[in-house]
Structure 1
Amino acid sequence: MLAHIDAWIFDLDNTLYPASAQLFAQIDARMGAFIQRRLGINADEAFRVQKGFFHSHGMTLPGLMAHHGVDPREFLADVHDVDVDVVAPHPELAALIARLPGRKFVFTNADAPYATRVLARLGLSESFDALHDIHALDYVPKPQPSAYAGMCAAHDIDPTHAVFVEDMARNLIPAKAIGMTTVWIDNGSEQGPDERRDHIDYTITDVASWLTGVVAALETK
């Protein structure tokens, strides 16, 4: 079913590593602390602001930029100052990605410096042809449709020949709309308000386990 795929696109956080690593929990906590300091509010109000922008804008940063004049690079440097050693190296995943035919990409709402650290920790520094981050998205993140159009245009991707693997179900809606094959990792990570699942082609719980079957099937053809 995936023999036509020549572009393999992966989200980063809670996708290339398991949500159980709790790396994103560190980022979440630092976002709350940043908002408390910047807006001069308590933890409960900061949480309300943070999650409100997450649900309305796709991520917290664009809301802070639009409503509070927050500098994106300052925010990203602060919230990504986390310990990536909680993520375990994954040489098996690196080997599986290397066996996929076609090009491979990381498509993330995080920034490149942080993503590069995580990929290095996983052992995936050489696994991808390109990394498309929040700066490349001009701070208009997934699930905004322009993010997907921009990603495809920047890397000359035909979405009908692409698969997108992502832990947030709502982020797959625009991908499906432009013809991508969609893979949702149902691993317990925080979801947005949209409960739709009819746009999902495959539901998995672990990338490496799924790719093991994919690679085996493709290599027998």
Structure 2
Amino acid sequence: MFDLDNTLYPHEADLFPQINDQISKYVQKIFDLGRDEAMVHQKALYHEYGTTLRGLMTTHSIDPDDYLAFVHDIDYSNLAPDPDLGTAIEALPGKKFIFTNGDRPHAERTAEALGISNHFEDIFDIVSAELIPKPNRETYEMFLARTGVAPARAAMFEDLAKNLSVPHHLGMRTTLIVPRGSREVLQENLDLEADPYPHVDFVTEDLAGFLKAVKGSLA
């Protein structure tokens, strides 16, 4: 299972900052706030409810379809086809899924821009999860029930460590995707602290390279 944003494409593609800006604009519109106030409120909702969407649905009964369409109205031109990633994903054994807190249209546009659409069995998005976001355990259980994936034979790739805790406890192998150039800094922190991320099995800043190495070890 592959998360989408900042996982299947690099952080420097700057897609997620656009989404974040759109979320802030939506919060501005709902609450009639200035930009700075809206960002503060947005982050508060995110930290309390897991996603801004869930927070807005809980506190203001917004239309989730309207929200998802608005926040994913972004420019994808920074994304370029990534044939190395496509080849690495295709070479992996088993079925591959995109598992995202975003919506299916956004995932489809992103995968299409990267040239990797054909390598996935399906997309499990926030709508498939009944608008319950990762890292809620219920979300992963819905994914497993829908796909028939056996956790002990599965792996999860994510850019947020907190979203790997449940997969780890379910028996999956977990890999944290970090921005390029940050792996050594993260490793220093791991060396200084008493294993702050016991639910993370591997860390990489090069997803395609990591997948090729995994495939090589299985050969």
Specify which of 155, 167, 172 is matched with residue 175 of structure 1.
167
Instruction: Indicate yes or no: 2:162 matched with 1:161.
Output: no
Question: Larger % of helix: which?
Answer: 2
1:29 aligns with 2:31: no
The answer to whether 1:114 aligns with 2:145 is no
Deviation at 1:56, TM superposition (A): 2.0
Q: State the alpha-carbon separation in 1 of the partners of residues 160 and 91 from structure 2.
A: 25
Query: Of 105, 127, 150, which aligns to 2:142?
Result: 150
Decide whether the 8 Å contact of 1:170 with 1:196 is kept in 2: no
Could you list the per-position Cα deviations for residues 83-133 of structure 1 after superposition, in whole angstroms to 9, with x for gaps in the alignment?
Answer: 111112101111111111111010000000111000000001101001000
From 61, 66, 91, give the equivalent of 2:83: 91
Residues 204-215 of structure 1: pairs in structure 2 closer than 5 A: 204-215=204-215
SS at match of 1:182: strand
Over 6 Å off, 4+ runs? none
**In structure 1, distance between residues paired with 2:103 and 2:84:** 25
| Displacement of 1:53 | 1.8
- Greater relative contact order structure (CA < 8 Å, 6+ sep): 1
2:121 aligns to what?
129
- Are 1:62 and 2:77 matched, yes or no? no
Q: Counterpart of 2:82 in structure 1: which amino acid? A: H
- Residue aligned with 1:86, SS: coil
State the one-letter code of the partner of 1:199.
Answer: H
Other-structure match for 1:13: 5
Alpha-carbon distance in 1 for matches of 2:209, 2:52: 31
Aligned-partner SS, 2:200: coil
Please, which of 111, 131, 135 is the counterpart of residue 139 of structure 1? 131
1:176 positional shift: 0.8
Gaps of at least 5 residues in structure 1 are 1-8, 190-194
What is the TM-score normalised by the length of structure 1? 0.90
Q: Which amino acid aligns with 2:79?
A: V
What do you get for the CA RMSD once the two structures are aligned? 1.4
- How many pairs were matched up? 206
- Write the distance in 2 (CA, Å) between the matches of 1:196 and 1:177: 15
C-alpha contact 1:94 1:124 (8 A) present in aligned 2:
yes
Show structure 2 runs of 5+ residues with no match.
Answer: 183-194
In the other structure, the counterpart of 1:201 is 201
- The alpha-carbon deviation at position 212 of structure 1 amounts to 1.5
* From 45, 48, 64, the counterpart of 1:53: 45
| Contact 1:148 1:175 (C-alpha < 8 Å) held by counterparts | yes
